[in-house]
Chains A and B, each alone.
Chain A
Amino acid sequence: MIPAKFEYTRPGSMADAVSALAGGGDDAKVIAGGQSLLPLLRLRLAFPDLLVDIGRLGELRGVRDEGDTLWIGALTTHDEVMRDPVIRQHCGLLAEATATVADPAVRHRGTIGGSISHADPAGDLPAVTLALDATFLAHGPGGDRVIGAGEFFVDYLTTALAPGEILTGVRVPKLGPGWGYRYEKFNLTAQAWAIVGVAAVARRADGHVAETRIGLTNMGLTPVRAQAAEAAASGAEASTAALRSAAARADEGTQPPSDLQGGSEYRRHLARVLTARALAVAAGV
């Protein structure tokens, strides 16, 4: 299908991009890789008057080692993220999950910032940023702002970004020694969305799980943390049985959707099983 008419601008600087967005009012949208927005336009589910293409803002691309954290530019493509040696070394969960995103064509165009700000609960990266306890950097008319992953995903396809704000980058804490990770994704065809996905990181000490964070994909209108399972797993013995019983609480407090891919009970079941698997790998059991 052909999208409805819209105007298009590709500013050369962040300042121009912000002012173009401000001038566009409510009906302006930012576009980067276009792998989520363009399908919406083509299906005529979205009708922006103005698209502000931030593809020329080179400063939003790349990965920087900041000591205890990594900064990943919003325009960094999935392909760059999954191949980046610094990310693979210090933040392997992100590389592992990104490698499961869609297909190579999409991964070469789609960006980490776009995926996150699109905030699709079925997208892999939002839940991963929750498990990693990432923070998001935004720039808007009011200057720079830092938003924690826990506060960022507000509602279905909706984030805490203010009107006119552009997501510039993602900051993720490095996983230190003792930490393990795993992204378990369940889908029926290789490049499909996750019916359910589970992103887990865990720190193991003295044969126990010292701490863990678990993010769930597609278990509600936003990505969510599996808090009950996290609490149950923290301090538990790093054994298959103990982690499995903690994972049995993975779906507590979630409201998974029912759709053609599966009912909500099915999703609850998947969340428990996948959490057990992810925790086992993350804790090195």
Chain B
Amino acid sequence: MMELEHSFTIPVSPERAWQVLLDVEQVAPCMPGATVDSVDGDVVTGRIKVKVGPVALTYSGSARFTERDEQARSVTLEASGKETRGSGTASATVRSSLQDEGGQTRVTVHTTMSVTGRPAQFGRGVMTEVGGRIIEKFAANLAAQLAAGGQPASQPGGGQAEAGPAAANGARPRVTAATAASGNGAASAGAGTDGPGELGLPIEELRLPLRAFNSLRREGIHTLGDLSARNEADLLAIANLGPASVKDIKQKMAERGLVLATAGTATVPPAGGAAARTQAEPAAAPPPAARPPDEDAIDLLSVAGFPVLKRALPIAGAVLAVLVLLLSRRRHRRRASARQG
């Protein structure tokens, strides 16, 4: 359990800031590494990914307002989640309050956080440090969001810039995208297939390399129908999917008599509905830089203020491996396994 307190001022009135603070859809994406899956009233469900060197943890869970005090201008947001690939949990209570400072607003963010499971073995020092940086980044993003008065602003923080489109990638658009995908797939695959039965099959059937498979799944491509709704350029725009993978995909689809959409016909943006918030805008130009939500990981370097080195984290931590194990408390396990090996 740890407690953190941050405070900052923003150049808008408390009345205006209060409106933003109440909108969970605007507040949640300020969390670095967060992906919003759906919003239902006051409850947001989503995921948050934390990356520390080679260690990557993803939590899925929900956040909701538990207290709103209009008089005191304070709100409490409670969030809790479970590790998606483990049994650990994390929870946080974030209490934000506003004070008028002569036209400006002072925002105080008080956070209590607790983490259980394997990550807790990092030791208190590391947890506090990592947690503190995440909250610091959250506070900075929130400050930017509040200062922008809730406009979908061009945010300064990298984390928020990435979290922005992720927020638009919510439940509603995802459903539409899936529907569109299967409809579209039927149309485009109609050219040379033995029917929609194939299109309903999961992409596992293609037996793609794991990396390609994961990349597709991250894009919300789950069935052959989803896949055949995309054109080649859409697939190439997916992170970690290169020409070789796309060629492989095309070949494996061809074995089943399926083809990718042709360039002009695909209308599903690669990010699975990234344009949802701006549906009035022409959907013809899916952002090529759209990243799969999973990649918006918190990255200690950028959080710590070394954005240049940002992408260095994962590989850097791993460049080999040796004597020093990460978790000294687990030493005996490794020794047991060394004996087996």
The one of B54, B313, B322, B328 in contact with A48, judged by C-beta atoms closer than 8 angstroms, is: B54
Give A30 to B322 CA distance when docked, in angstroms. 12
Out of B54, B214, B242, B300, name the residue touching A46 (CB < 8 Å). B54
B residues lining the A interface (CB < 8 Å): 52-57, 85-86, 118-119, 123-126, 129-130, 209-211, 214, 239-240, 242, 244, 295, 300-301, 304, 306, 309, 311-331, 333-335, 337-338
Instruction: Digitize A46-64: 1 where CB-to-B-CB distance is under 8 Å, 0 elsewhere.
Output: 1111100010000000000
Measured CB to CB, the closest approach of chain A to B55, in angstroms, equals: 5
Q: Which of B56, B304, B316, B318 contacts A31 (CB 8 A)?
A: B318
Decide if A43 touches B300 in the complex (CB within 8 Å): no
A48–B53 Cα distance when bound, in Å, is 12
- A94-128 interface bits toward B, Cβ cutoff 8 Å, 1 = contact, 0 = none: 00000001110111011111110111101111000
How far does the alpha carbon of A35 sit from the alpha carbon of B318 in the complex, in Å? 11
- For the A-B complex with A6-B210, A43-B327, A119-B317 known, give 14 more contacts whose Cβ atoms are closer than 8 Å: A25-B211, A25-B239, A33-B322, A37-B321, A45-B54, A49-B214, A74-B320, A154-B312, A157-B54, A158-B316, A158-B317, A162-B311, A256-B125, A257-B125
B323, A101: Cβ atoms under 8 Å?
yes
6 contacting pairs across A/B (C-beta < 8 A):
A26-B314, A40-B326, A42-B337, A101-B324, A106-B322, A163-B314
Cβ contact within 8 Å between A7 and B209? yes
Q: Is there contact, CB below 8 Å, between B300 and A36?
A: no
Which residues on A are within 8 Å of B, measured CB to CB? 4-7, 21, 23-40, 42-50, 54, 74-75, 78, 101-103, 105-107, 109-115, 117-120, 122-125, 154-167, 191-193, 221, 255-261, 264
A261: B residues at CB distance < 8 A = 328
Contact B331 A37 (CB under 8 A): no
What residue in chain B is nearest A4 (Cβ atoms)?
B85
- In whole Å, how far is B119's beta carbon from the nearest beta carbon of chain A? 8
B319 contact from A5, A102, A114, A191, Cβ within 8 A: A114
By a CB distance below 8 angstroms, the chain B residues around A26 are 239-240, 295, 311, 314-315
Rounded to whole angstroms, the CA-CA distance of A264 and B128 in the bound complex is 13
Contact B319 A161 (CB under 8 A): yes
In Å, the complex CA distance between A2 and B328 comes to: 19
CA distance A259 to B129 in the complex (A): 13
When the two chains form their complex, are residues B328 and A37 in contact, meaning their CB atoms are under 8 A apart?
Answer: no
Contact of B320 among A37, A156, A163 (CB under 8 A): A37
Minimum CB–CB distance from A99 to chain B (whole Å) comes to 11
Answer whether A259 and B123 are a contact pair too, CB < 8 Å, given A37-B318, A155-B300. Answer: yes
Given the complex of chains A and B, what is the CA–CA distance between A163 and B331 in angstroms? Answer: 29
Structural contact, B322 and A114, CB atoms closer than 8 A: yes
Most buried by A among B126, B209, B322, B325: B322
Nearest A-chain residue to B125, judged by Cβ: A257
State the CA gap A46–B50 with chains docked (Å).
Answer: 11
Taking the closest CB of chain B, its distance from the CB of A62, in whole angstroms, is 16
Kindly provide the distance from the CB of A38 to the nearest chain B CB, expressed in whole angstroms. Answer: 7
Chain A nearest Cβ from B295, distance in angstroms: 7
Judging by beta carbons under 8 Å apart, are B318 and A115 in contact? Answer: no
Neighbouring B residues of A48 by C-beta, 8 Å = 54, 314, 318
**Which of chain A's residues have a CB closer than 8 A to the CB of B242?**
23
Q: Which B residues are in CB contact (< 8 Å) with A40?
A: 54-55, 326
Residues of B within 8 Å of A47, CB to CB, are 56, 85
**Which of B125, B301, B316 meets A119, CB within 8 Å?**
B316
Give complex CA distance A108, B57 in Å: 31
* Cα separation A191 to B323 with both chains bound (whole Å): 10
Q: Is B312 in contact with A166, judged by CB distance below 8 angstroms? A: no
Residue of B nearest to A140 (CB): B315
Which of A113, A159, A261 gathers most chain B CB within 10 Å?
A159
**Chain A contacts for B211, CB-based, 8 A:** 7, 24-25, 27, 49-50
Of the listed residues B53, B239, B309, B323, the one surrounded by the most CB atoms of chain A closer than 10 A to its CB is B323
Residue of A nearest to B57 (CB): A45
Q: Which chain B residues lie closer than 8 Å to A50 at the CB level?
A: 211
Residues of A within 8 A of B337 (CB): 39, 42
CB <8 Å contact, A31 and B322: no
* Nearest CB of A to B325, in Å: 5
- In this complex, what residue of A is CB-closest to B313? A158
**B301 and A155 contact, CB distance less than 8 A:** yes
**With A7-B210, A33-B320 as given contacts, are A162 and B338 in contact (CB-CB < 8 Å)?**
no
Q: Is the CB of B323 within 8 A of A156?
A: no
In Å, the complex CA distance between A161 and B316 comes to: 5
CB distance from B299 to the nearest CB of A (A): 9
A25-B239, A45-B57 are known contacts. Are A118 and B329 too (CB-CB below 8 A)? Answer: no
Give chain B residues whose Cβ lies under 8 Å from the Cβ of A193: 324-325, 328, 331
Cα A37 to Cα B118 in complex, Å, equals 16
